[in-house]
Structure 1
Amino acid sequence: MEQFAHTPVLLDRCVELVGAGVEAARERGLPPVVVDGTLGMGGHSEGILEAFSDVTVIGLDRDREALARAGERLERFGDRFRGVHAVDDELARVLEELGIAQISAILLDLGVSSLQLDEDERGFSYSRPAPLDMRMDQSAGLTAAEVLNTYPEDELARIIREYGEEREARRIARAVVADRAERPWETSEQLAGLLERVVGDGRGAAKRKGGGANRKRSHPAKRTFQALRIEVNRELDSLSAALPAALEALHEGGTAVVESYQSLEDVIVKRIFAAGLRDQAPPGLPVVPPEMRAWLAPLTRGAEKAGPEEVEANPRSASVRLRAVQKIGPARKERR
């Protein structure tokens, strides 16, 4: 159906990796339960439910519209699918309320969804005029406009620099504060115009090092819009809390599958996975105590990317980085 035309990224590979956890549940005599922690339009959940007839999927999303659309898409699976209005870092509470002790797999498809990007009134895109909202859950929290209109210059500069990895963060923050004294921030078109003025029009070309070929620069609004979206939705804080909780909830043999679309997310995923993938015993210790042994095993070699055919068919898959691990022992409490 047209409203479900959204294509999930690396669907077959995600289903395969989730399947390792499903198989482990079967071997242990457990009912397989998979959590889709970023449900979106439900494409990944649909693929999992179609592939495994004995799996129950718990789908979490903070966006009520996404939940409604995914619920309609997955209605045919009956009580094998349960949608929950929650942020992924609320997983422990959700599982407790549902009476689920352990899960077989967790899937996190991070970042903004196609639904949010494609609906102009949400304000996620810099290419179309819209109110500066950017909330994934439109019932709670500050909007992007409120951030721009109320945050001090230093805080705006920090957010744009850290979350947008924008070199011109200080200049942008200074201009935001100056402009809001004349007119409050309200629309994406307003902000995109300031960024074109301050950073450049983004349509120029830059010379590659060592060669004469030209390459197109990204739009000057891209990094700042990303930074505001991350701040408004507390995305990195949520991921840092959600992923360890999900790993804790996995039974042995369970799998964690994460798709990241920008480096800040991928660094967090890599760090959390790495802590469980290595022994913690001092070098030269003849026997590694159980509590110091690695309790995760890699299912991917580094980060996997979408192939050229998928990128051509679905340009949003171009930046994906897929990492997955399997739980092979009790979770170890990491020292901070």
Structure 2
Amino acid sequence: MTDFPGRAADRHVPVLRDRIVALLAPALQAPGSVAVDATLGMGGHTEALLRECPQATVIGIDRDTEALRLAGERLAGFGERFVPARAVYDEILQVLQAQGRRQVDAVLFDLGVSSLQLDEEERGFAYRHDAPLDMRMDQTGGPTAADVLNTYDARELERILREYGEERFARRIANAVVREREREPFDRSERLVDLLRSAIPAASQRTGGHPAKRTFQALRIEVNRELEAWRSALPDAIRALAVGGRVAVLSYHSLEDRITKQTLAAGARSTAPPGLPVELPEHAPYLRLLTRGGEEPTAEEIETNPRAASARLRAAERTRSTEATS
């Protein structure tokens, strides 16, 4: 892996950093309070939380060993208040168990591909650079994007392109991939980008952005099981919250944001049957929404950090215990 120069703090601009700190800090003022940054990356959000909340400890989770190394260097000055953990965010309960904890006071998720992964060309996430078709966030094992392209049948390729990439021309692309791989298996991104330029009509390319954007997104989500992991990770994080604890989620894809919206809305809604004269305690909402819809970055932030453009932020507070956490 390329060892890029410069500190993580110089290479990484955390999206909606100040707003996230404002949402989570009220839950992190007591001595011994604990937050989980479940998508640590290069540690920008964690650094801001540790500075703003001097009584708090942050457990930083990431599957990427390079991210953990860079974040560890960045956060070394906070000593034992930063606790790194190599794991996937849907393993949050296992991480907490290993730390001897059942509950925490705040959880942050910053979903999608990190700045570190986008910037390191050989990881294969960025379609503007020719690189091996890898796209694994954890490079120690598991199938690569090349494996997906070279082994999935046309119907399955079409499904992931349509569902995860919201690609209008999914069938055309899938069929082209299957034809082309019979001549030679895919191994580098440039060849895939060339195929996409040929498969997607020119008119759509003029109005729909880079022709590879949606396909690369779909492959990344499939390779890293992102939506599957997210469907279990957010409910587990909510279960781990103490009463008064808060969760914040930054998503960059409509499917991720939809899962977030539905999960938080379900917790903020009474489950009392219609017509019940008195709401029983077990039917009361266990979450209070802290944001109205998905909050977006300001135009000024997007100008400074273009990767923030598609971000949506949602947050909620735990208002009561449930059977799972009592």
What band does the TM-score fall into relative to the shorter chain? over 0.9
Q: 1:179 is paired with a residue of what secondary structure?
A: helix
CA deviations on 1:204-253 (whole Å, 9 max, x unpaired) are 54xxxxxxxxxx43111110100000000000011111110100000000
1:2, CA displacement in angstroms?
4.5
Whether the aligned pair in 2 keeps the contact of 1:273 and 1:296 (CA below 8 Å) is yes
- 1:315 equivalent to 2:318? Answer no
1:161, CA displacement in angstroms?
0.6
Partner of 2:253 in structure 1?
A: 262
4+ residue segments displaced more than 3 Å: 200-205
1:201, CA displacement in angstroms?
5.1
Partner of 2:138 in structure 1?
A: 137
What is the root-mean-square deviation of aligned Cα atoms in Å? 1.4
Distance 1:219 1:259, change over 3 A: same
Whether the aligned pair in 1 keeps the contact of 2:28 and 2:55 (CA below 8 Å) is no
Distance 1:43 1:292, change over 3 A: same
1:61, CA displacement in angstroms?
0.4
CA deviations on 1:12-39 (whole Å, 9 max, x unpaired) are 000111112214xx2xxx6210000000
**TM-score normalized with structure 2 length:** 0.95
Distance 1:325 1:119, change over 3 A: same
Unaligned 5+ segments in structure 2 are 1-5
| Paired positions, count | 318
Partner of 2:18 in structure 1?
A: 12
Aligned AA (1:12) = D
Alignment of 1:199-238 (within 5 A): 199-200=200-201, 205=206, 216-238=207-229
1:284, CA displacement in angstroms?
2.5
1:330, CA displacement in angstroms?
1.7
Q: How far apart are the structure 1 equivalents of 2:205 and 2:156?
A: 30
1:56, CA displacement in angstroms?
0.4
Alignment of 1:138-217 (within 5 A): 138-200=139-201, 205=206, 216-217=207-208
Distance 1:299 1:123, change over 3 A: same
Aligned AA (1:161) = R
Partner of 1:22 in structure 2?
A: 28
- 1:328 equivalent to 2:313? Answer no
Aligned AA (2:17) = L
Whether the aligned pair in 1 keeps the contact of 2:41 and 2:68 (CA below 8 Å) is yes
- 1:273 equivalent to 2:275? Answer no
- 1:303 equivalent to 2:290? Answer no
Q: How far apart are the structure 2 equivalents of 1:283 and 1:314?
A: 47
Whether the aligned pair in 2 keeps the contact of 1:276 and 1:332 (CA below 8 Å) is no
Partner of 2:80 in structure 1?
A: 79
Partner of 2:3 in structure 1?
A: none
Whether the aligned pair in 1 keeps the contact of 2:8 and 2:71 (CA below 8 Å) is no
Task: Report % sequence identity.
Answer: 55
1:101, CA displacement in angstroms?
2.1
Q: How far apart are the structure 2 equivalents of 1:310 and 1:332?
A: 41
Aligned AA (1:172) = I
Whether the aligned pair in 2 keeps the contact of 1:295 and 1:332 (CA below 8 Å) is no
Whether the aligned pair in 2 keeps the contact of 1:201 and 1:220 (CA below 8 Å) is no
CA deviations on 1:80-113 (whole Å, 9 max, x unpaired) are 0011100011111110111012100000000000
1:331, CA displacement in angstroms?
3.6
Unaligned 5+ segments in structure 1 are 206-215
Q: How far apart are the structure 2 equivalents of 1:267 and 1:131?
A: 31
Whether the aligned pair in 2 keeps the contact of 1:201 and 1:219 (CA below 8 Å) is no
Aligned AA (1:4) = A
Whether the aligned pair in 2 keeps the contact of 1:260 and 1:320 (CA below 8 Å) is yes
Q: How far apart are the structure 2 equivalents of 1:323 and 1:236?
A: 17
Q: How far apart are the structure 1 equivalents of 2:155 and 2:88?
A: 29
1:203, CA displacement in angstroms?
8.2
Alignment of 1:16-95 (within 5 A): 16-23=22-29, 26=30, 31-95=32-96
**TM-score normalized with structure 1 length:** 0.92
Partner of 2:100 in structure 1?
A: 99
1:286, CA displacement in angstroms?
1.6
Aligned AA (1:21) = A
CA deviations on 1:33-68 (whole Å, 9 max, x unpaired) are 000000001000000001111110000001111011
Q: 1:181 is paired with a residue of what secondary structure?
A: helix
